[in-house]
Structure 1
């Protein structure tokens, strides 16, 4: 049997691809990373839109694997902006000499399993081909941007771009008539920045989202010293919490306390930095509709108090989902933007967009002229980045076709048996939450599996069908009763701009991160009995 070009090929040089490269290098393996962009960083390379930043605390987000790295890097803000994060990831790449094994401007077009040689043949869009024993995807859960299905979308004569494909040279909004389509997390961050300088900003909103204050601030010298001294405690806390944030649900039930206590508790969370107002609520607020109605009413009252025009305030309050059942954007004076005379909110449920014209956007209410159109229309989440690569397993079976109607995985890191030696970082049904904490665990688990195969002379590993079925049964069971799984969002695999993704599925692991890790450890400790090894 001929030897492949590489022991492993990794797709993507974001945080997961970089860390996976480092870990496999430590095993002495020959590894190549293919990255479509011109630099490292993944999410933080592509998403350069104004206002892009963490909503996890910076010091809980960075890599934890190197004490030296933790000591030498100082975050400037509690929630770092994109440029700083990209500098950090470039620093990591330099410090660990990662670039020598990364090939940039290299987009993977296809990957085909070769049963006879037990390896993958990976073809790039430039026509070149490479082989590897293991194919590891580090493509990110939110990396395949989607544009809206609007007639005439490409006919606009001005500047237009998706938030995740922002011009590297930046965009000057001063004196410009700007449209932003979309009010999800990226839309919220973009809108609050564009409104500062644009002559006019028109926001086209289909579905309002519940937003809460970020409460960002610079990190003082004293805080910096305290953070660095507390890193072991910080990461231990992230390991213990439900979704790897510094915040975790309050153990009390909503109706176990008085109305006055509830109000004070919600006020406290609303006034604190970060995701506490979302993931630190009473334990039943994301499962009990009556409990959720209380926090939804609280946030609605906050919106009404911050937006001066009552009609505009009502348009910004969601009516089709409760607070926290979709991803909650964190904002800085987002709602106050709508009090500015240069900002207009267009509810496209009332006046739908009919088409994009060479001069702007036409709705049922008339024509709007613009110099710049920003598409803050999100991503084909979780499976979209896989769908854009023609991945073929045994007998040429397509991964995209296999996942029609919803992905099937084993612990989110392996696909079905017909895709041997395909390992996924942050694939569907992994525990997400605070992403880098999930990345480090996924990478370490995959590394141990590759090391096991290498040590035992194994050239083929695949998930057994019964193990995939058992895992999917668990994923479905753990998701029952969650209000978020009863709502259309990327959590449930719905994207109305993508054909075939209009039906809800359980697209993510809804249980706790500690429970997820425990189940993954069972597989490893049991000698990988859930896998077919050869």
Structure 2
């Protein structure tokens, strides 16, 4: 088979050398330490610009299930619990409404990069058909609200509220939940669904606190300053000099919108993203076969199988994710690792190089200035950074009011002054500085220590993990922490479409609660069960460390420091993991149930 843009052996050797050189230009000695959290003196970057905090009395009551997090993980947990007959469900979120990342992120141009018909969960259950192939952020946020209303999740919800501690009370066998609003209530079960991209981060650039112009993080877009909406029309920027730091998935969407409305835009880039074809369009029910029962489940299962490397008869989504699915092997464990490893790696590198050649050619074909085009070309392997998609990003650099400032040779921005940004000795004066610097990937209140969880005997979950490493059964439950169900990526499955993963997790969490309620028991695995699961994760775990060690720095490889040590995800892919969970629920779920010693509070 002929591969377009396929490299010769000599070209492959040259590519490896170029990739290594480009990586070294961008590695910073402090790794992830180059970023700082939006707390303490920078807490205003994380303030809620959308909802005014309403005064209320603290709550002191008892609920069946407390769910921490009101994004899709928490909403799906609540919905699936409701389907199992759970009555009092309380969802707590620091945002002013449901939506999670789609509540906070409302920046101009915001869309999902996964097809909406597989990304938006519970389409079959709500009867909704997305209007676009790739939904804008507001459509997604409204769908989150739609699910919450359908399953009556607003009734006991607490918004603009952060949980400050979880404490297991041995006497009553309930969790005591405390919040920053003075709430202290009890819950028979606690589900943590705090997300993997929930803590915005800022670059640790010297002088960041000195800037006298206007500044904000893209996850807290300040429309009071810019004017307009996520659709554009930012009249407040008409004569402003605007700088944006960050060219990842967010920056790719924001830059074209700023280019249309701002007086001048300076795009500060450390590493260019891969930017593939988007081809967004309006869709109808007929386009996706939405007249059939179960159409959405069928479509998302088809998508999951493709990106996980499983065979399918037809590609129902047919976009750049599915067409490039073979290159996701270094991100998503799959059956592709079977067989002759040497032959696989050789073929994989050729396909990888061909795709990257295609993407670099797209830059050259679109951007008219040769110097700018050269700086926008991505020199790394496809799975080193999350792919992005846009038909407007590259054309934005053909405008006279857009300047690309590449910072690779200075290892980022040198410093920020009262009036602007300094790179390579050149000062760029700005009226507004916007940080599209993303989130602390994988960081939650629990992992950061901001939400201490104390289980049996007062043992703190974070301390236990520091001493003996993460210990779970299937990623959901841990010995010593009864009735605590954790949702997320640890010891679980992974996929580019994380809402699908979250829904499967929500189904499993609800099944655990239903089984415990039926037996009047506690949900808690034995140490032996944890040992067996950790061993299963290690058996057949992919060796991707060498690949990511050679990648350009980013959150996939901890800013060039390599992947975390030890198994973190199920090694045989999401499809196999979901099948494993279903078999376990049908046959072995009682193994996790422990006898109660106290009556359940009601």
Q: Could you tell me which residue of structure 1 aligns to residue 245 of structure 2?
A: 181
Write the distance in 2 (CA, Å) between the matches of 1:456 and 1:250: 38
Q: Which of 307, 311, 324 lines up with 2:383 in the alignment?
A: 324
Q: Could you tell me which residue of structure 2 aligns to residue 109 of structure 1?
A: 164
Q: Which of 94, 118, 131 lines up with 1:36 in the alignment?
A: 94
Q: Could you tell me which residue of structure 1 aligns to residue 219 of structure 2?
A: 164
Q: By percentage of residues, which structure has more helix?
A: 2
Query: How far 1:217 moved relative to its partner?
Result: 0.9
Matched, 1:129 2:184: yes
Write the distance in 2 (CA, Å) between the matches of 1:432 and 1:168: 35
Q: Which of 117, 137, 146 lines up with 1:82 in the alignment?
A: 137
Equivalences for residues 506-525 of structure 1 within 5 A: 507-509=568-570, 511-525=572-586
> TM-score by structure 1 length?
0.84
Runs of 4+ in 1 over 6 A off after TM superposition: none
Q: Which moved more, 1:383-392 or 1:46-55?
A: 383-392
**2:117–2:299: 8 Å Cα contact kept in structure 1?**
no
Q: SS of 2:491's equivalent?
A: coil
CA 1:508/1:363 → structure 2, altered by over 3 Å: closer, same or farther? farther
Q: Could you tell me which residue of structure 1 aligns to residue 482 of structure 2?
A: 420
Q: Could you tell me which residue of structure 2 aligns to residue 208 of structure 1?
A: 272
Q: SS of 2:74's equivalent?
A: helix
Query: How far 1:65 moved relative to its partner?
Result: 6.5
CA 1:334/1:528 → structure 2, altered by over 3 Å: closer, same or farther? same
Q: Which of 403, 422, 431 lines up with 1:344 in the alignment?
A: 403
Q: SS of 2:427's equivalent?
A: strand
CA 1:411/1:313 → structure 2, altered by over 3 Å: closer, same or farther? farther
Write the distance in 1 (CA, Å) between the matches of 2:283 and 2:345: 32
Matched, 1:526 2:572: no
Matched, 1:355 2:415: yes
Equivalences for residues 237-316 of structure 1 within 5 A: 237-241=299-303, 243=304, 249=309, 273-279=319-325, 288-316=348-376
Query: How far 1:59 moved relative to its partner?
Result: 1.6
Write the distance in 2 (CA, Å) between the matches of 1:398 and 1:167: 38
Query: How far 1:443 moved relative to its partner?
Result: 0.7
> TM-score by structure 2 length?
0.75
**1:324–1:484: 8 Å Cα contact kept in structure 2?**
no
Matched, 1:383 2:383: no
Q: Which of 249, 253, 263 lines up with 1:199 in the alignment?
A: 263
Write the distance in 1 (CA, Å) between the matches of 2:423 and 2:407: 8
CA 1:478/1:341 → structure 2, altered by over 3 Å: closer, same or farther? farther
Query: How far 1:280 moved relative to its partner?
Result: 5.5
Query: How far 1:448 moved relative to its partner?
Result: 0.6
**1:67-124 superposed Cα distances (whole Å, 9 cap, x missing partner):** 4x22xx3422111101122222223333333211211111112212233332222211
**1:395-454 superposed Cα distances (whole Å, 9 cap, x missing partner):** 43333344449754332223x323332212234233243122222211111101111111
Equivalences for residues 426-445 of structure 1 within 5 A: 426-433=488-495, 434-445=497-508
CA 1:34/1:15 → structure 2, altered by over 3 Å: closer, same or farther? same
Query: How far 1:503 moved relative to its partner?
Result: 6.1
Q: Which of 4, 8, 11 lines up with 2:68 in the alignment?
A: 11
CA 1:412/1:250 → structure 2, altered by over 3 Å: closer, same or farther? closer
Q: Which moved more, 1:156-165 or 1:274-283?
A: 274-283
**1:250–1:281: 8 Å Cα contact kept in structure 2?**
no
**1:370-407 superposed Cα distances (whole Å, 9 cap, x missing partner):** 11111111111223343232223334333334444975
5+ unaligned residues in a row in structure 1: which ranges? 253-267
CA 1:280/1:401 → structure 2, altered by over 3 Å: closer, same or farther? same
Q: Could you tell me which residue of structure 1 aligns to residue 30 of structure 2?
A: none
**2:415–2:421: 8 Å Cα contact kept in structure 1?**
yes
Write the distance in 2 (CA, Å) between the matches of 1:391 and 1:304: 52
**2:124–2:295: 8 Å Cα contact kept in structure 1?**
no
Q: Which of 132, 151, 176 lines up with 1:96 in the alignment?
A: 151
Q: SS of 1:102's equivalent?
A: coil
**1:56–1:274: 8 Å Cα contact kept in structure 2?**
no
**1:448-470 superposed Cα distances (whole Å, 9 cap, x missing partner):** 11111111011x32233343344
Write the distance in 1 (CA, Å) between the matches of 2:123 and 2:285: 24
Q: Could you tell me which residue of structure 2 aligns to residue 262 of structure 1?
A: none
Q: Could you tell me which residue of structure 2 aligns to residue 260 of structure 1?
A: none
Q: Which moved more, 1:306-315 or 1:145-154?
A: 306-315
Q: Which moved more, 1:108-117 or 1:503-512?
A: 503-512
Q: SS of 1:367's equivalent?
A: strand
Write the distance in 2 (CA, Å) between the matches of 1:485 and 1:430: 20
Query: How far 1:322 moved relative to its partner?
Result: 0.5
Q: Could you tell me which residue of structure 2 aligns to residue 62 of structure 1?
A: 120
Q: SS of 2:208's equivalent?
A: coil
Write the distance in 1 (CA, Å) between the matches of 2:201 and 2:300: 32
Q: Could you tell me which residue of structure 1 aligns to residue 200 of structure 2?
A: 145
Aligned residues: 501
Q: Could you tell me which residue of structure 1 aligns to residue 517 of structure 2?
A: 454
CA 1:436/1:250 → structure 2, altered by over 3 Å: closer, same or farther? closer
**1:285–1:295: 8 Å Cα contact kept in structure 2?**
no
Write the distance in 1 (CA, Å) between the matches of 2:199 and 2:484: 20
Write the distance in 2 (CA, Å) between the matches of 1:400 and 1:188: 35
5+ unaligned residues in a row in structure 2: which ranges? 1-59, 227-233, 329-335, 337-343, 596-602
Q: SS of 2:382's equivalent?
A: coil
Equivalences for residues 366-405 of structure 1 within 5 A: 366-386=426-446, 387=448, 388-404=450-466
Write the distance in 1 (CA, Å) between the matches of 2:277 and 2:513: 43
